[in-house]
Amino acid sequence: MFKYAFAFAAIAAASPVLAQDAPTTFNGPYVGVQGGWQQDRQTLDVTNNGLTTSASQNKSGLGYGGQIGYDFRLSPQVVFGIEVDATGRTGSSQLGGPNGLELKQGRTLAATGRLGYLVMPESLVYVRGGYANGRFTLRDATTNISENRDGWQLGVGYEQMVAQNVSARIEYAYSKFGSDSLPALATDLGVNDARVKYSRNAVTAGLNFRF
């Protein structure tokens, strides 16, 4: 994650030269806040003596966080941007019924790029994609396993200037954090293998303050 932050800082340091004589709307640095709906899905696959059973859980909660980014006007209508954000989520869920494992979603860090098109001088539609890292915890009376999962994120959004230096946006994002073999959990459950798969849907609204 730190290499993305360093790359972002280097680009931002060079940006005054790139931005000379460029349009001011969606061009330059910004910081912001975001919040909204987030649904996490985890699927636990348990294999014992060649037989695999699965249990899945969708759990919704409140996502919240902040972002820092930089937009470049590549042409009068085209915007390229980079962004680093950090988000958290409320609540946890039970996997496998009330006596199963508790799954808790922790912080998520993401470094993404976006490409947008100005449908009006102050209205931007865009697509986003890049790297994401999420923290997940599985626990019950005898198990407490936490790990950071690398993954990817794709999204689409709409952003509107609402004041001279303030823009508002709404965005949908899908994140995938792969699957993970958990030998310690398999031992606790008395099975040959236990594997968890992670994915996420999120719809968020945000405000960006531009400089």
Residue-level pLDDT at 72: 97
Question: Which regions of 49-143 does DSSP assign to beta strands (E)?
Answer: 51-73, 78-89, 92-95, 101-120, 123-139
Q: What are phi and psi of 194, to 5 degrees?
A: -135, 130
**What whole-number distance in Å separates Cα of residue 111 and Cα of residue 67?**
10
Mean pLDDT for the chain overall: 84
CATH class of 2-210: mainly beta
User: Exposure of 41 by Cβ count < 10 A (0-12 exposed, 13-18 middle, 19+ buried)?
Assistant: middle
pLDDT per residue as tens digits for the range 107-117:
999 999 999 99
β-strand 78-89 against 101-120: which pairing, if any? antiparallel
Spatial contact of 39 and 57, defined as CB atoms under 8 Å apart: no
Say yes or no to pLDDT of 201 above 80: yes
Domains of the chain by residue range: 2-210
Which residue did the predictor score with more confidence, 46 or 2? 46
The lowest-confidence range among 59-68, 86-95, 170-179 is 86-95
pLDDT per residue as tens digits for the range 12-34:
444 444 434 445 799 999 999 99
**How many other C-beta atoms can be found within 10 angstroms of the C-beta atom of residue 23?**
14
